[in-house]
Chains A and B, each alone.
Chain A
Amino acid sequence: MDGLTPMVAAATALILAPLAGGLVLGLDRKLTARLQGRYGPPVSQPFYDLVKLFGKGARWVNRWPPFFAVLYAFGAAASVILFALGGDLLVLFFVHTLTIGFLVMGALAAVSPYSRIGAGRELIQAMIYEPLLLVVFMSFHQAAGSFDIAVVRSASSPLVGEIPLAWAALFLVFLIKMRKSPFDFSTAHHAHQELVQGIRTEYSGPFLALVELGHLYEIAFFLLLFSLFWPTAWGASAILAATFAASLLVDNVVPRMTWRWALRMVWIPGLLLVFANMAWIYYGL
């Protein structure tokens, strides 16, 4: 029976994660539309899109984008499964790096201007948010005493009280990963994109569906990370609701910015704030 429990956890994560991610995405689109005075698509629109894309024929520039689309979906799913199985936050960080690397390499491998510029911007995005993500994990380690997810989850007091600035940093990372303004310069869910679809330009048909699926897994991964800040049912819901509301607000208020702006705005305040938080705890103030 013992051997089955991790398998059950993994299978549950595998199936539930894209559902959760899709719902968040759908809700986001619906509420954004309402804020803009439109009706908006149904909340389950992402799933309709997935089904539609999987049903399309494959068009490809060369065989690398399809190849890396599969690996990207695998990496994203692996992050969620590894989280469900418990273990080390740093391992999750490296697997996450793997995932983004695959997506970018697939886009770079297509000799397409939009794709390559989008991939370059995605790489800059990754460079921007990775230090932040790592520092958030370091904050977890500092507050809870270990990188182990099980230990972090069983911390005595909700971590959001001890490392609130880490939440702020993770929120910035979430904005970037969700491809929300002001950080949607690599690709976006909206049609108005000066790079067509940016990094996703040359992924099409079932392979775009895989990229979308991977994206849903990534959203779920971040939802799980946010839940670590307050691991109880109500606490996690509160954190997630607050994060979601904040991201909705920012997305609809701020326009798309450039990567240079993003680099300055995310690194300088983001890193400084989190390090300040860490130093606060480290020097025992």
Chain B
Amino acid sequence: MQPLISTVILFPLAAAWLSWAAPTRSARKLLALPAGLVLMGLSGLIYAAGPVSFSPHPLWGRLLHVADYGLLAGILIIAVRLQSRLSWLLLLVQLGLLIGFDVGLEPPPPDGPKIVVDALGLTLCLVVNGIGGLVLVYSPAYIAAHEERIGRRNGPEKTFLFFMILFLGAMNGLIFANDGRWLFFFWELTTLCSFALIAHDRTKASLEAALRALWMTLLGGVFFLAGLILLYLETGGIALDRILSAPPSGMYLAGAALLCAAGLTKAAIPPFHKWLLGAMVAPAPVSALLHASTMVKAGAFLILRLMPAYAGTFLGWGIAWIGAFGFMAMGAAAIHQADTKRILACSTILNLGLIIACAGFGTAMAAAAAVLLLVFHALAKALLFLCVGAVEVKTGKRTLDDLKGLGARMPLTTGLMLIGILSLLLPPFGVVTGKWLLLKAAAADPLPLFFVILGMAFHLLLYVRWGGDLLSRPHGDRNWSLEPQPLSIRLSMLALTAGLAALSPLVPLLFSDFVVPVIRSVGLSPEGIAGWGPAGGYGLTYLPALAGALGAAVLAAAWISLRLPPEGGARPAYVGGADAVVEGEAGYKGPFNRFEPHQVTPYYFSAVFRSGLFNRLITAASAAILLMVLAGAVWIGDGGLPWMG
């Protein structure tokens, strides 16, 4: 098992350097595809092997410490050269904290294992490498077309693959690291990769977005180090498993709160949401991998990991607040967006808010909801980003208005996009199962619940509007032909859809083998939930039945609608008899008998949701909540609140 873990961290490092050294585009393509498949296979093997913990040779530890300083110095140089004052200021703070920690406090090396592989880590590893592998398969064809479209022949394509593969290695390290310093190194490595990938296009907008992402995630790094130092001062160790089993006292919760704040910046939860919205200038594979399924999930992962530290305390309750508020706020913020990638970004943040709210609720049911949301949202969001990327590559457009009627031009991509959208909204898909569990877990807590409920309403509006727009077609029948598309793009999207569609109805069957171990690994006991497998009560067992019934209904509806006779049936839309069709476009006879095509735009509610006041309100309110939670963690400590059980 040890060699497997080491390989899954080190192999991407090697593969990244190889892809840098590869001379031609096809050589890089030949490297990316097997690299992706290897990582997928490795993660499957690791999952099958189960939990383990070990410490590599101490030389690795020293190497990592050196590399840590090197990494920070490297980012510092980049920040100085790009004249991003916030970034290099924050980096100096980080370096100061790190040096103070190493030299001033001189923590002894932890006597525990440096690498801990538990059920939560295994699940995230599977998600990261599974989706990562598929995105690596998708990338070469996308990047080639993307560079073509923006008119660059000798673009920085080699840095793209280098950082994508390096990023996967960094994520694997992050997931498995138990030593706080190691975790910090991989954490900042993902920061660097994210920065480099957002800036890929080298345009002014992308550099600005990349620098904003950089300083916000560096702020997270400062929180991380500060939290780690506080926890070391309280517990005397920097190994996570030791920290989590230490009793809370003094500044323990403050340290845990700071670590959670680091997770919040990484997950782009309000008030730290601006960087993710800006990061949408990056190419679609970057959005799909980093900013939907993996890097932002690392923030949620850290907060989930820390559950034993704050369960039942004020901090846990506060984290539920922050997550729930983020959910509602981003739902509202997404309504006026017309750019589909920004809608997806807002939607990602709001689902991450849900996962974090689950972590805050701290019950076994909430933990189960968190796992389901984590896995299925990652699949669905990656699929949606890849579809949007495929559309962008083919048509160059990605706003909602431009997607109208896409079903006629790109039926397969539209179909897959629709499945992705529906999987976020409807039972029996996994995300809805997670939301259902979350609602059950939150039912006792009316205050965060308020935000969750409002957010769900916004979420519904967002996606049904999009789904309906996709399908809109002018009257009559068109010949449906499969759109031409590179095979690697098509296969990766199909694979994600297949995974999403196949796994969702199987959740009750897989529950006790796959979800319950994760509940145990965050220190909760799954009583009362184990009975929700196929042998249990009504709970989750409705899922396969509902899925079957829905599938049958879809088939029946398709059969009925396809059997409609074309002759004498199809007519233009009703406009009081003044309908007219010119060159296949539907419209009506307007003034002076001039043809007016139908033009209806979706509701954007810009008057309410776009205004600067509204957005400033979101940032201010979420910052206020965060500050209150941090302050409360320090002052109230582990006492809990009077009305908490």
Binding site for B on A (CB under 8 A): 57-64, 66-71, 74, 78, 82, 86-88, 90-91, 94-95, 97-98, 100-101, 104-105, 107-117, 119-120, 123-124, 126-128, 130-131, 134-135, 138, 141-142, 147-148, 196, 201-202, 271, 275, 278-279, 282-283
Contacts and interface: CB of A to CB of B under 8 A. Distances in A.
A16 B291 CA distance: 50
Given A62-B474, A88-B539, A134-B453, A108 B468 contact: yes
A129 B254 CA distance: 40
A108 to B, nearest CB: 3
Contacts of B598: 111-113
A97 B425 contact: yes
Contacts of A126: 457, 460-461, 464
B460 A130 contact: yes
B328 to A, nearest CB: 10
Contacts of B468: 104-105, 107-109, 119
Given A91-B542, A116-B600, A147-B440, A97 B460 contact: yes
A91 B457 contact: no
B427 A91 contact: yes
B461 A111 contact: no
Interface in B561-592: 561-562, 564, 568-576, 586
A78 B549 CA distance: 9
A66 B560 contact: yes
Contacts of A101: 422, 425-426, 460, 464, 467
B564 A61 contact: no
A141 B446 CA distance: 12
Nearest to B445: A282
Contacts of A114: 573-575
A62 B538 contact: no
B553 A95 contact: no
B558 interface: yes
Interface in B429-457: 432, 435-436, 439-440, 443-444, 446, 449-450, 453-454, 456-457
Contacts of B427: 91, 94-95, 98
B509 interface: no
Nearest to B554: A71
B527 interface: no
Contacts of B603: 120, 123-124
Closest 7 CB pairs of A and B: A108-B468, A112-B573, A70-B557, A109-B471, A74-B553, A67-B561, A66-B561
Contacts of A97: 425-426, 460
Given A131-B454, A131-B456, 7 more contacts: A74-B550, A74-B557, A105-B468, A112-B575, A116-B472, A126-B457, A131-B453
A186 to B, nearest CB: 12
A201 B574 contact: yes
B118 interface: no
Q: Which DSSP category, helix, strand, loop or mixed, fits chain A's interface?
A: helix
A63 B574 contact: no
Contacts of B60: none
A61 B450 contact: no
B473 A109 contact: yes
Nearest to B585: A111
A138 B443 contact: yes
B467 A105 contact: yes
A104 B464 contact: yes
Nearest to B574: A201
A105 B464 contact: yes
B641 interface: no
Interface residues of B, number: 65
A88 to B, nearest CB: 6
B450 A275 contact: yes
B574 A196 contact: yes
B477 interface: yes
A134 B436 CA distance: 11
Given A70-B556, A115-B573, A134 B464 contact: no
Contacts of B471: 64, 105, 108-109
A116 B562 CA distance: 23
Interface string B274-310: 0000000000000000000000000000000000000
Contact of B465 (A66, A108, A279): A108
A105 B465 CA distance: 8
Contacts of B50: none
B521 to A, nearest CB: 26
Contacts of B460: 97, 101, 123, 126-127, 130
A135 to B, nearest CB: 6
25 contacts: A59-B571, A61-B572, A63-B561, A66-B561, A67-B557, A70-B557, A71-B553, A74-B550, A74-B556, A74-B557, A91-B546, A94-B432, A97-B426, A101-B425, A105-B471, A108-B467, A111-B475, A113-B599, A124-B461, A130-B460, A134-B456, A135-B453, A138-B439, A279-B446, A282-B444
Contact of B586 (A66, A90, A111): A111
Nearest to A141: B443
B458 interface: yes
Contact of A113 (B446, B560, B600): B600
Interface string B462-484: 00110111011111110000000
Contacts of A58: 564, 569
A131 B456 CA distance: 8
A227 B161 CA distance: 61
A246 B473 CA distance: 42
B602 interface: yes
B554 A113 contact: no
Nearest to B573: A112
A123 B558 CA distance: 24
A57 B570 CA distance: 12
Nearest to B335: A127
Given A86-B538, A142-B443, A131 B561 contact: no
Contacts of A112: 573-575, 586, 598
Contacts of A67: 557-558, 560-561
A60 B469 contact: no
Contacts of B472: 108-111, 116
A117 B600 contact: yes
Contacts of A147: 440, 443
A123 B461 contact: yes
Contacts of A94: 426-427, 432, 435-436
Contact of A120 (B436, B556, B572, B602): B602
A164 B234 CA distance: 51
Interface string B153-168: 0000000000000000
Contacts of B458: 127
Contact of B457 (A104, A119, A120, A130): A130
Contacts of B571: 59-61
Contacts of B576: 196
A114 B435 CA distance: 34
A62 B600 contact: no
Nearest to A101: B464
A148 B467 CA distance: 32
A70 to B, nearest CB: 4
B475 A130 contact: no
B546 A95 contact: yes
Given A105-B471, A127-B460, A60 B443 contact: no
